[in-house]
């Protein structure tokens, strides 16, 4: 079951990731949004087959984590290959560099998280064993995913926000606007989308 879900969601979101990179670039690839969609879809499928409860919550996170990594790598690879083509780089050398980057970043990120996740003596006295997810390191995206998984698995999720987003995408498509690009603009903060708008406006003036 887990393998099938990884293949299905991977085929979908790897394609989406590569496409959105072609449209607006790797820095604005909505990886967390695709991960959230995977988490929600996996949770619903688990419920449909009768897999519910705390025992299955980590399995949902495993599927979401794998798809998150796959989508991130797909977008980054597409961006690298596009940039490499422009400057005349060879795909072979780029892939070697990507392997090195993936290995080094995995080690560095793992060590960094391990270091940051150490609770203080006060936290330990209060029964808190992890610093990440507390006021010290709030981890809002991880908290959101945990909320979604627990909410769906316990059948207690507030679905109105999900439906609003879905209907908004439908309305954009009916208006002739690409919902994927619009969703990125709605999802990302203004500090990120404003430079994109400025760049598009400048390009429009030049044309």
DSSP 76-109: HHHHHHHHHHHHT--HHHHHHHHHHHHHHHHHHH
Contact partners, residue 33, CB within 8 Å, separation at least 6: 183, 187
25/70 Cα distance (integer angstroms): 17
Domain endpoint, select from 116, 134, 157: 157
32/19 Cα distance (integer angstroms): 16
DSSP 27-47: GG--HHHHHHHHHHHHHHHHH
Domain endpoint, select from 157, 173, 199: 157
Q: Are residues 135 and 120 in the same domain?
A: yes
Q: What is the pLDDT of residues 143-200, one digit of tens each?
A: 777 778 888 877 777 788 788 888 888 888 898 887 777 776 776 667 767 887 788 7
Contact partners, residue 63, CB within 8 Å, separation at least 6: 2, 5, 6, 9, 38, 39, 42
- Token digits for 100? 């090195």
Cα torsion angle, 28, 107, 67, 158, sign: negative
Q: Domains in the chain: how many in total?
A: 2
Q: Are residues 150 and 184 in the same domain?
A: no
This prediction has a pTM of 0.65
Q: Are residues 148 and 185 in the same domain?
A: no
Residue 47 has pLDDT above 80, yes or no: yes
Residue 35 has pLDDT above 80, yes or no: yes
Q: Are residues 102 and 147 in the same domain?
A: yes
Residue 108 has pLDDT above 90, yes or no: yes
Q: What is the pLDDT of residues 76-96, one digit of tens each?
A: 888 877 788 888 888 888 888
Do the Cβ atoms of 24 and 184 come closer than 8 Å?
yes
Domain that holds residue 57: 2-157
Q: Are residues 60 and 138 in the same domain?
A: yes
């Amino acid at each position: 079951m887990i393998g099938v879900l990884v293949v299905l969601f991977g085929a979908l979101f790897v394609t989406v990731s590569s496409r959105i990179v072609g449209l607006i670039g790797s820095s604005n690839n909505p990886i967390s949004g695709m991960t959230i969609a995977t988490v929600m879809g996996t949770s619903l499928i688990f419920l449909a087959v009768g897999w519910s409860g705390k025992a299955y919550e980590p399995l949902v996170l495993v599927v979401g984590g794998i798809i998150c990594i796959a989508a991130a790598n797909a977008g980054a690879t597409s961006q690298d290959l596009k940039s490499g083509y422009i400057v005349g780089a060879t795909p072979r050398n780029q892939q070697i560099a990507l392997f090195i980057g993936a290995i080094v970043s995995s080690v560095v990120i793992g060590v960094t998280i391990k270091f940051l996740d150490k609770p203080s003596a006060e936290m330990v006295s209060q029964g808190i064993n992890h610093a990440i997810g507390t006021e010290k390191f709030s981890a809002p995206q991880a908290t959101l995913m945990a909320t979604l998984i627990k909410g769906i698995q316990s059948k207690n999720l507030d679905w109105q926000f999900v439906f609003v987003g879905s209907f908004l995408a439908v309305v954009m498509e009916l208006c002739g606007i690409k919902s994927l690009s619009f969703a990125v603009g709605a999802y990302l903060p203004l500090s990120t989308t404003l430079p994109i708008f400025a760049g598009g406006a400048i390009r429009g003036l030049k044309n």
